[in-house]
Structure 1
Amino acid sequence: MLAAFLLTLVAGGATSIGAALGVLGRGTNPKMLAGGLGLSAGVMLYVSFVELLPEGAHVLSGGGAITARGTAIATLSFFVGIALIAVLDRLVPEAVSPHEFSGRMTGSHGDPEVREPDEQAADRALRARLLRTGTVTAAALAFHNVPEGFATFVAALQAPEIAIPVVAAIALHNIPEGLAVAVPVRRATGSRSKAFWLASMTGLAEPVGAVLGYLLLAPLLSGDAMGAILAGVAGVMVFVSLDELLPAAEETGEHHTVIYSLIAGMAIMALTLLIL
């Protein structure tokens, strides 16, 4: 059991690698911001439509061939997930403490860069949006990582030698997840430590999910309930990608960087799923 938990911890801990990449370099670099957000959106969209939603339909179909009933319930769960995150999104205040921002940005050499009042206002608005984006993304990814951690833990308990490639694949796709949180939070707050630790915490949801699933949720999260949860999580991740990540990425003005990174994120996720 200890080995299974450690393998799950390794998979979740890979998020910190992405977090570290997200806080390195210049936090105000628009290409880095656009690339990180686009990459993360690609990962989340691909895994939602190619892995989570079909797997939810598969589970809801009784584990065999996908049925019309399984597809219908998975589709309903998908849109219920979107509705839930949309409601939560509307409850988050648009304004994020204006005192947090002084109207100055850190220049490329660490010196304060004075800006005109209208530029300061635009910068405050963008930072507020990015902070909100990073926080919502962290919550969505943490929620997604709980059943993922439980699945990894169960696989390791059954056959550790089979779980190792599973852990490697999950760890690989957790790296851009850490990047997804760290990049906007680093850009919004100017704090590398806040960005790193918030992003890393999303990965810790995996070992937490392993423990909770084993101790409390295993009898409940089976059959139709698990299938509905997987499809619902897909809806949450699609909403976050389209409503938060991509609009914030486009605001950098680096459209082509966003598109290329989006495709790269899909390619990375496709590769990890093939390995998995």
Structure 2
Amino acid sequence: MFETIINFFEEIDPVIGALLATTFTWLITALGASFVFFFKEMKRSVLDGMLGFTGGVMVAASFWSLLAPAIEMSTGDGFAKVLPSAIGFGLGALFLFGLDKFLPHLHINFKPSESEGVQTNLHRTILLVLAITLHNIPEGLAVGVLFGGVAAGIPEASIAGAVVLAIGIGIQNFPEGIAVSMPLRRQGLSRKKSFYYGQLSAIVEPIAGVVGALAVSFFTPVLPYALAFAAGAMIFVVVEEVIPETQQDKYTDIATLGFMGGFIVMMTLDVALG
């Protein structure tokens, strides 16, 4: 099955591949959000465990799928070899830092008074969706950058690695879709609106994926920087957004175990299949 998927992506343009792969991750988010049609509530412990799982996948993907290949494909030795990755990683974190300070948003488990970004009168629902959208920008970018590396003919960038990363992000997007739609339903939104906003949070992934793929395919030398950039953005999201969201209640141990499980799943996928 996996070989069939790889063969399919090898026969199409990598930029189209990036679009299809990130559309897949968006649809998995929508699948998770669709649970709101069957359940009105979900235990807080389950939601925290899901968010922890999401963080674990993102951290593992940042190293195994992004940073390690970025370092490997860099030329030189010692500091010269790691410098592009260090610069890209820092820029990625600063990029998300800027978005975090500018874009108005509210984390899932936080009170309305704890919203971040510029002051706004936007409804709490929109602020929640914008918070999850922040999570998804670096995820789509990461997949797109890997496909862009394939388009540019970089030996270290492979279709298999890009597909594995998309699968891993898709896996963590499923509970993320649930974690967005369920709180919205609990606030009194209809099932349709809760689903709509839940899936909408991931629509940015295909956009970021195509942008990442085009950027790298046209500017091949930036690939190590771009991979590390996506990694830095993802790690920033985990530390600044995901982990604090799981620490607001008494289920921190469950969230931690979820994080460990997510890390193991993504590491296994990348090493075994990538």
**TM-score, normalised by the number of residues in structure 2:** 0.71
CA displacement at 1:152 relative to structure 2: 5.8
- The 2-side partners of 1:58 and 1:2 are apart by 23
CA shift for structure 1 position 188: 4.7
Distance 2:17 2:105 in 1: 39
1:202 aligned residue? 205
Confirm or deny: 8 A CA contact 2:168 2:269 kept in the other structure.
Answer: yes
Structure 1 unaligned regions, length at least 5: 97-120
1:4 aligns with 2:15: no
Q: Does 1:255 align with 2:252?
A: yes
1:182 aligns with 2:180: no
| RMSD, aligned α-carbons | 3.4
Aligned to 2:240: 243
Structure 1: distance between partners of 2:103 and 2:163: 35
User: Does residue 28 of structure 2 align to residue 33 of structure 1?
Assistant: no
TM-score if structure 1 supplies the norm length? 0.70
Match of 1:58 among 63, 72, 78: 72
Q: 1:92 aligns with which of 103, 119, 135?
A: 103
User: What is the identity, as a one-letter code, of the residue corresponding to 2:239?
Assistant: L
2:136 pairs, out of 135, 138, 141, with 138
Distance 1:180 1:202 in 2: 16
Distance 1:198 1:219 in 2: 28
Q: 1:136 to 1:143 in 2, by over 3 A?
A: same
For the structure 1 residues 124 and 29, does the alpha-carbon distance in structure 2 shift closer, same or farther, using more than 3 Å as the test?
A: farther
> Secondary structure of the residue that 1:253 maps to in structure 2?
coil
Instruction: Give me the whole-angstrom Cα distance separating, in 1, the residues matched to 2:148 and 2:134.
Output: 22
Matched, 1:231 2:242: no
Measured at CA, do residues 83 and 75 of structure 1 come closer, stay the same or move farther in structure 2, by a change above 3 Å? same
Counterpart-to-counterpart distance in 1, 2:98 and 2:211: 24
2:47–2:179: 8 Å Cα contact kept in structure 1?
yes
**Which range moved further: 48-57 or 32-41?**
48-57
Equivalenced residue count is 237
Instruction: Provide the C-alpha distance between the structure 2 equivalents of 1:74 and 1:238, rounded to a whole number of angstroms.
Output: 14
Cα distance per residue 1:155-185 (max 9 Å; x no partner): 8xx9xxx84x556523421323423652443
SS in 1 for 2:201: helix
Closer/same/farther in 2, CA of residues 36 and 209 from structure 1, 3 Å limit: same
Rg: which structure is higher?
1
2:24 aligns with 14
Look up the SS of the partner of 2:218 in the other structure: coil
CA 1:174 to 1:56, structure 2 compared with 1: closer, same or farther past 3 Å? same
Matches within 5 A, 1:104-183: 122=111, 130-151=128-149, 163=159, 165-166=160-161, 169-179=164-174, 181-183=176-178
Offset at 1:55?
1.8
1:96-136 residue CA offsets vs partner (Å, 9 max, x unmatched): 9xxxxxxxxxxxxxxxxxxxxxxxx9478586774443121
Measure, in 2, the Cα distance between the counterparts of 1:2 and 1:169: 14
- One-letter amino acid of the counterpart of residue 199, structure 2: F
Give the fraction of aligned pairs with identical amino acids, expressed as a percent. Answer: 18
